[in-house]
Structure 1
Amino acid sequence: MITAVALAGYAVLVSAAVPPLLSRARWPHRTPVTAVLAWQGLMATFVVATALAVYHLVMAEQHVHDGLIGLLSACGLAADAPAGESAPTLGDALALAAPLAIVLLPLGWLALCVWRARRARQRHLDMLALVGEPAPGYDATVVDHGAPAVYCLPGRRRRVVVTRGALDVLSEAQMRAVLEHERAHIDGRHHLLHLLVDAFSRAFPGLPLARHAKEQTALLVEMIADDRALRFHSRDALATAICEVAAGQAPQAALGAGGPGALIRLRRVLTPQPRPHRATWLGVVAASIAAPLLPLLVACGP
């Protein structure tokens, strides 16, 4: 019982107490890749800790006290368990359904989100085949629309889309900078990060971690793409392009250069901050990896 309470408290800590603190911290904007890893670590930690807490509450005492061997025995996977104990009972199977559901729920939503995103991208690609025009100089597709917008459709049939309004207001340097931003989204497979946080937020609606992770990940992946564009283009060109396309709306399942937090990103591009100390970076990475493993050590130890 004590272990279950400890695991439940750990789950509450990472899902309710830590997310607001991480959202208000300054270092994530200075190293967005590491910050994304931290959010992913928190989500994995919540699922692991919650599932193990439920397992300790509902499973038979002998399995709980046997630690990892007990867990494997309950699943019928312990090779060295006695023959009479290795086969799971009906009660074990029903009890395992609760912690298993906690693990499978976000995975099920992830599969559904992937399917929906693919359908939305396919519909948009079909529309582009009818109304889009190639822009060979930019390796993009031009859509005759007055609002300035630049976005990308990730996946196998990846595509960068530029509206006629964006071509009218952006200079050559600005257009090259914003196109590099979009290619960073495609090369980095940032749509997968969006799918992960979207599935988690749908699996656990109302959870502070889900809300903060979704908001912050959307902002952080835009910052990662900004950093990629700044390797090859000037800050002024990218900042101006962000301003011009900030109001442009990307379609469903696409990633737009305007994106969320345009004002925050603009300030970050124009006033760069030093990267965190290497010790800070290593500490965050180590904590993000260790956090999901700690519940396993607590729950599965004999």
Structure 2
Amino acid sequence: MNSAPVLVGYTAVVGFVAPPLMLRAGWPHRAPALAVAVWHALAVSFSIGVALSAYNLAMPTEHLHAGLVGLLHSCGLDMGSGPPDPDTAGRLAVGVPAAIAIALVASFVFHVTRARRARAEHRETLDLVGRRSARLSATVLPYDIPAAYCLPGRHPRIVISDAAVRELTPDQLGAVLEHEQAHIAGRHHLALAATEAFHSVFRWLPLARHAREQTALLLEMVADDRALRSHSHEVLATVMYEMAAARAPKGTLAAGGHTVLIRLTRVLAPREAPHPALRGSMAAAAVAVPLLPLLLTCPPGLG
């Protein structure tokens, strides 16, 4: 039995139906780290589903119309008079999934390398115009707007403007530094590069667009929650307000930016942790969803 129709249907659901459901759900903002894992799981599941769909469509079956090569043959598009060539089917079955995998890996490497190069160039600028503060464990940059961001990677660095040092209280500065340290410790730049790579390959897909946007927002919320472990909601909200207009260089992660209003509303609203059952079910979904295309291809009990 050819699994292609089931796989195509499943992949369509993941790519087009799941994103609006995730966007309407209330739990992702209450458990942002778990929500990031679910968005990535959906992206992985879609990629596997597309690859397996291509494989199953390309493989000839005893029913001519069930395979992609058979479909081309029946439409007169294979430029031959005989039945579908098994060698052509085999090449398509291997080549299309391989091309998808190579495109995703190459895109990820490209985005990681490009961001690393941008950070390296920015570090050189910081060495010229910034000054190292041992007290803050950060580089202080001359800038007349309160701002803070981090350069993640193998040589991480937190950067804060001298306006922020002058205008923020020690507690507020501590919240800023905790926020940026969370980005570095969590290697959030790699999660962002993964969604950028997925979006580059499947640019037309709602899942790719929303996964990229939501991952960036949710990772800021993860860093906010890290700062809230040792600082009050009012302190963090004040810092976010003060840094709302700040802009960060390419390849960095900043405490301010265009997501501040959403995050500010979240920080000031009454907090309610997600129910343990919901958290457990979403964690299980993050693990299981990437495996579903494989189960659909090889359902138990079928030989």
TM superposition score normalised by structure 1: 0.88
- Which of 73, 90, 93 pairs up with 1:92? 90
Q: Which residue of 2 aligns with 1:12?
A: 12
Following TM superposition, by how much is the alpha carbon of 1:274 offset from its aligned partner in structure 2, in angstroms? 1.2
Question: 2:19 corresponds to which letter in structure 1?
Answer: P
Following TM superposition, by how much is the alpha carbon of 1:89 offset from its aligned partner in structure 2, in angstroms? 5.0
- What are the within-5 Å matches in structure 2 for residues 14-163 of structure 1? 14-61=14-61, 91-163=89-161
Q: Which residue of 1 aligns with 2:164?
A: 166
Q: Report if the CA contact (8 A) 1:132-1:144 is conserved.
A: yes
Question: 1:96 corresponds to which letter in structure 2?
Answer: V
3-state SS in 2 of match to 1:220: helix
Q: Which residue of 1 aligns with 2:266?
A: 268
Q: Which residue of 2 aligns with 1:76?
A: none
Q: Which residue of 1 aligns with 2:202?
A: 204
Question: 1:292 corresponds to which letter in structure 2?
Answer: P
Q: Distance in 2 between matches of 1:94 and 1:219?
A: 39
Q: Distance in 1 between matches of 2:8 and 2:101?
A: 15
Q: Distance in 2 between matches of 1:91 and 1:43?
A: 27
Following TM superposition, by how much is the alpha carbon of 1:147 offset from its aligned partner in structure 2, in angstroms? 2.0
5+ residue gaps, structure 1, are: 63-87
Q: Report if the CA contact (8 A) 2:35-2:218 is conserved.
A: yes
Question: 1:134 corresponds to which letter in structure 2?
Answer: R
Q: Which runs of 4+ in 1 moved over 3 A?
A: 88-91
Following TM superposition, by how much is the alpha carbon of 1:272 offset from its aligned partner in structure 2, in angstroms? 3.4
Q: Distance in 1 between matches of 2:87 and 2:179?
A: 55
Following TM superposition, by how much is the alpha carbon of 1:211 offset from its aligned partner in structure 2, in angstroms? 0.7
3-state SS in 1 of match to 2:158: strand
User: Any idea what the Cα deviations from partners look like across 1:126-154, whole Å, max 9, x if unmatched?
Assistant: 11111111112111001111122100000
Q: Report if the CA contact (8 A) 1:219-1:260 is conserved.
A: no
Q: Distance in 1 between matches of 2:245 and 2:55?
A: 48
In structure 2, relative to structure 1, the CA distance for the partners of 1:46 and 1:196 (3 Å cut) is same
Q: Report if the CA contact (8 A) 1:146-1:164 is conserved.
A: yes
User: Any idea what the Cα deviations from partners look like across 1:137-193, whole Å, max 9, x if unmatched?
Assistant: 111001111122100000111100011222232121111111110001101111111
In structure 2, relative to structure 1, the CA distance for the partners of 1:2 and 1:91 (3 Å cut) is closer
Q: Distance in 1 between matches of 2:2 and 2:92?
A: 22
Q: Which residue of 2 aligns with 1:233?
A: 231
- Which of 186, 207, 211 pairs up with 1:188? 186
Question: 1:29 corresponds to which letter in structure 2?
Answer: H
User: Any idea what the Cα deviations from partners look like across 1:64-112, whole Å, max 9, x if unmatched?
Assistant: xxxxxxxxxxxxxxxxxxxxxxxx9565234310122122211110011
3-state SS in 2 of match to 1:141: strand
TM superposition score normalised by structure 2: 0.88
Q: Which residue of 2 aligns with 1:292?
A: 290
Q: Distance in 2 between matches of 1:170 and 1:206?
A: 43
Question: 2:265 corresponds to which letter in structure 1?
Answer: R
Question: 1:53 corresponds to which letter in structure 2?
Answer: S
Identity %: 48
Q: Which residue of 1 aligns with 2:68?
A: none
Q: Distance in 2 between matches of 1:110 and 1:122?
A: 18
Q: Which residue of 2 aligns with 1:66?
A: none
User: Aligned Cα RMSD in Å?
Assistant: 1.6
Following TM superposition, by how much is the alpha carbon of 1:42 offset from its aligned partner in structure 2, in angstroms? 0.3
In structure 2, relative to structure 1, the CA distance for the partners of 1:131 and 1:171 (3 Å cut) is same
Q: Report if the CA contact (8 A) 1:235-1:270 is conserved.
A: yes
Q: Which residue of 2 aligns with 1:78?
A: none
User: Any idea what the Cα deviations from partners look like across 1:185-229, whole Å, max 9, x if unmatched?
Assistant: 101111111111111111110210011101111110011111111
**What is the number of equivalent residue pairs in this alignment?**
277
